[in-house]
Amino acid sequence: MIENTETISGSDYKRMVIGAYSEFLLEYENINSIKKTGKFFYCGEPGTDVLRTMGAAVMPLTEAVNESIGGLARRVADASVLGARGNAGVILSQIFRGLAKGLAGKYTATSQEFGKAFQYGILYAQRAVPEQKNRPIIVASKIVAKGAFNAVKANLSIEEILRAAVQASRDSFSDKRDSGEMIMQVFLDGCLKGLLGNFVSPLLNFTNRAASNLKLRDEDNFVSPLQDKVHPYCVSFLVANTKLSTELIEKELQAIGNFVVVEKRHKAVFIHLHSDHPGKALELAVAWGHIGEIHINIMAEPHAMAMVQQSFIMPLALMTVASNAEQVQKLQDAGAMVIVDGSDESGPSVEEIVNAAHSDIANKYILLTDTEHLRLVMHQAKRILGDRVSVVVADDEEEQLQAVRAFFPEDSMEENCQRMQAAIELISKE
C-alpha cells in the first residue's frame, strides 16, 4: 500500500468550520421544519440551536492568530462548548471538543491523524447523551464514525474520508427523516464544501479583520453570530502602582470582555474578567503599571473553574430560568435565588449559566430547568463547574415552580435534589 502523505493545515480546518456554519445558515429552517414531523421528540428549534452554536464557534476565526490546526481547533471547541444552545447545540459542541482533543499539539495533521480526531468528535457527541443511545443523531453519528473509520483504515485522503462520512450519513436516513439525522448531514456537507472551498457564506464575509468590522446583509429574522460571541477565558491579575482610577480601568475592560471586577487591594488593583482574547487585557494593563500574579483559566474545560478562588455569601443557592417578568416574580416568591434570563427562544447559552454560577452568591448551586430543551445545556455547565453544581430537570413551569418550593437552603445539595425530584414526579403523575 502506498503511504498517504497528505496533510491538513489550520487554514483547511478554518475553511471547514466556516463551511459548516454557512451550510447551517442555508438549512437551519429546514431542520426546524423536519423537527415537527420527525420520529424523535426535540424541544425548541434544533436548527436554530445548532446555527447559533456554530455562530459562537466561528467567531474566534475572525481574529485568530493561530496557524496550527491544534490551536485553531482548541479555540473553536472552547467557544462552541460555552456558546452551545439547546440539546442539539450541546451535541454539536461536543463534536468540536473531540476534534480538538484529537488534534491537540499538532501544527498540521495527516489524513490518519485527522480521521482519528474525527472519531474522537463522534465519541464525545455520543457521550453527551449516554442515556439515549437510540437518539437519531447518535445512531447516525455511529454510522458516520464507521464509514470514516473504514476510509482511514484504507489510507484514503482527507477529502475521501469526509466523502465516506457524508455517504454513510446519507445511507443512515430513516424512512421518516429526523432533524437529528439532518443536522449530522448538514454538518458533514458543510465541512466537505469548506475543505474544497466550494461554499459561499450568504450573510457573512469572513476575513482576518476584526469581528467588529464584520458586515451583515439586511435579512429579516436573522440572528447575527456577533450576538453569540463568547468569552471562554477567565483572566485575573494584579496591577501595582497604577495612577488610574478603578472606574476608568473597568470602563476600558468592559469594551473587550465581560464579567469585569476591578478592586483596590492595598497598593495594587485586582482585575478579573472573562475575555475571548486574554492578551488584549494584558496589553492594556502594561500601560497601567506593574503586572503580576497572572492567572488564565479556560472555562470550557471540565472543572477548570474549581481553580478560581472566590469568597461566597452562602453555601447553597438555587438557580433557574425564567422567560418573563411574571415568571421571575413567581420563582422569587417561591424561593429561587438566582434567575437566568430565558426570554431568548433558544434559551440561555452554557456561558450564561456558567457566568451566573461564577458569581460570589453561593459556593454550590442546584441548576433547575424549566423545559427539557435545557437539559444538556445544564449538564454541560455541570461538566465545567464540577461538584459545585447538581442538575434537576423540570419539563414545564408548573413542575419548575413545585421544585422551587421544595428547596430549602439550610439542607444539603443531595437532600434538596431528592426532594425537588420527588415534587416533580408528583406533579407529573397528577
| CATH class for the domain made up of 233-298 | alpha beta
SS3 assignment for 244-295: CCHHHHHHHHHCCEEEEEEEEECCEEEEEEEECCHHHHHHHHHCCCEEEEEE
Level-2 CATH architecture, domain 314-429: 3-Layer(aba) Sandwich (3.40)
Considering the segment(s) 7-207 as one domain, its CATH architecture is Alpha Horseshoe (1.25)
- Give every CB contact of residue 247 below 8 A, 6+ residues apart in sequence: none
* Strand partners for 341: 322
How far, rounded to the nearest angstrom, does the alpha carbon of residue 372 sit from its chain's CA centroid? 17
DSSP 8-state class, residue 59:
G
d(CA 79, CA 157): 28
Amino acid identity, position 8: I
pTM for the predicted model, two decimal places: 0.87
Provide the residue-wise pLDDT of the chain in tens; the chain has 430 residues.
455 678 899 999 999 999 999 999 999 999 998 866 555 556 778 999 999 999 999 998 887 777 899 999 999 999 999 999 999 999 999 999 999 999 999 999 998 899 889 888 888 888 887 666 567 777 788 888 888 888 888 888 888 988 988 888 887 776 667 888 899 999 999 999 999 988 766 555 554 443 334 444 444 456 678 888 999 999 999 999 888 889 999 999 999 888 898 999 888 999 999 999 888 999 999 999 999 999 998 888 876 555 555 556 788 999 999 999 999 999 999 989 889 998 888 899 999 999 888 777 888 999 999 988 999 999 999 988 888 899 999 999 999 999 999 999 999 999 999 999 999 998 877 6
* Helix (H), strand (E) at residue 367: strand 362-368
Is residue 100 within 8 A of residue 245, CB to CB? The reply is no
Strand order in the sheet with 362-368: 338-341, 314-322, 362-368, 389-392
Domain residue extents for the chain: 7-207, 233-298, 314-429
User: Residue 352: how many CB atoms within 10 A of its CB?
Assistant: 21
8-state DSSP, 105: T
Alpha-carbon distance 206 to 58, whole Å? 9
